[in-house]
Amino acid sequence: MALDLSSVGFTTEPRSYTYDWKTLALYALGIGAKRDELDYLYEGTNAGMNVYPTFAVIPAQEPLFETLARTGGNFAMVVHGGQKVRTYGPIPSAGTLTTTATIRGIYDMKKLAQVVIDTTTTHGGERIFETTWSIFFRGEGGFSGPRPVADPDELSIPKDREPDFTYAEATSPEQALLYRLSGDYNPLHADPAFAASVGFAQGPILHGLCTYGYAARAVVRHLCGGDARRLKAFAGQFRKPVWPGETIVTQGFLMGDGKVALQASVQGKPDPVLTGAYAEIA
């Protein structure tokens, strides 16, 4: 099934997403938050509920899937290639957010087609965050289309020095079952028979955005003093699957001017699972 190239530029109607503290606590638990991150888990703290900025991917899900459907692609062939979040103000601890999504482009990667989708979310008419999604459709390349455009903000991992921090954190065997409650119900992350049918005989894999959230929390812990409001941008490309129960090791390299180059891997395995990753810290 060829993708509909005329869908480039399509923008959804505004979609509303209403949430409360329970939504935020569930998301934080889904990306591994622990008792010492109580401000992100308990509505009764003196300062009020804090929000990890990677929560921005949750309100964007409905308009994202609308744009993907507009391309005419086969959802069974979808692979999440990369993710970027940029915030412009604190995310409220409850309320209604409004999001629109736009198909920026469809790019030819020979065997794959890459669809890049941008979303903008507002609260009370004020922009509070944007997301960019890189979605691959397997088997849809080779249509002589434009090649992907590199992210100008991407940073390279320094090869001549040790990381400024390394943080290893185990996921639970139930991590994917917990994360999916925030809205991504793909059976690949829950159903062993389905996972095996699409090539994952070891069992359901962790959501890429769960790994992404673990890495962002590592940055908040080590470089933001636990204050996620200082994390203004976070991006990464998904390279390898992670299975629930594995330990995610995040490494960060300070690059100056509040910029951090990052990568994440699974303990005991040689290849990174998150590459081309970076953060911007206020």
Q: Using one digit for the tens of pLDDT, what is the confidence trace for 117-163?
A: 999 999 999 999 999 999 999 999 999 999 998 888 898 999 999 99
In this prediction, residue 73 has a pLDDT band, given cuts at 50, 70 and 90, of very high
Catalytic position from the list 103, 117, 205, 248:
205
Q: Reduced to 3 states, what is the DSSP secondary structure of residue 214?
A: helix
- Nearest Cα to Cα of residue 233 among 132, 94, 102, 165: 132
Q: What residues does 266 pair with on adjacent strands?
A: 248
Mean pLDDT of the 185-211 span: 94
In this prediction, residue 77 has a pLDDT band, given cuts at 50, 70 and 90, of confident
Residue 184 bears catalytic tag: yes
Catalytic position from the list 81, 141, 208, 276:
208
The answer for residues whose C-beta is within 8 angstroms of residue 190's C-beta and 6 or more apart is: 176, 177, 180, 204
Residue 123 bears catalytic tag: no
Mean pLDDT of the 234-239 span: 97
Residue 108 bears catalytic tag: no
Least confident of 15-29, 64-78, 204-218, 231-245: 64-78
Q: How far apart are CA 149 and CA 189, in angstroms?
A: 30
Q: Which residue has the tokens 């095996």?
A: 196
Catalytic position from the list 31, 82, 189, 207:
189
Q: How far apart are CA 115 and CA 133, in angstroms?
A: 8
In this prediction, residue 234 has a pLDDT band, given cuts at 50, 70 and 90, of very high
Amino acid at 237: Q
Q: Check residue 9 and give its pLDDT.
A: 98
Q: Check residue 150 and give its pLDDT.
A: 87
Catalytic position from the list 184, 207, 236, 281:
184
pTM of the model: 0.95
In this prediction, residue 75 has a pLDDT band, given cuts at 50, 70 and 90, of confident
Q: Using one digit for the tens of pLDDT, what is the confidence trace for 159-177?
A: 999 999 999 999 999 999 9
Domains in the chain with CATH codes: 1-149 (3.10.129.10), 151-282 (3.10.129.10)
Q: Using one digit for the tens of pLDDT, what is the confidence trace for 78-94?
A: 899 999 999 999 899 99
- Nearest Cα to Cα of residue 231 among 247, 242, 218: 218
Q: Do 277 and 208 meet the contact criterion of CB atoms below 8 Å apart? A: no
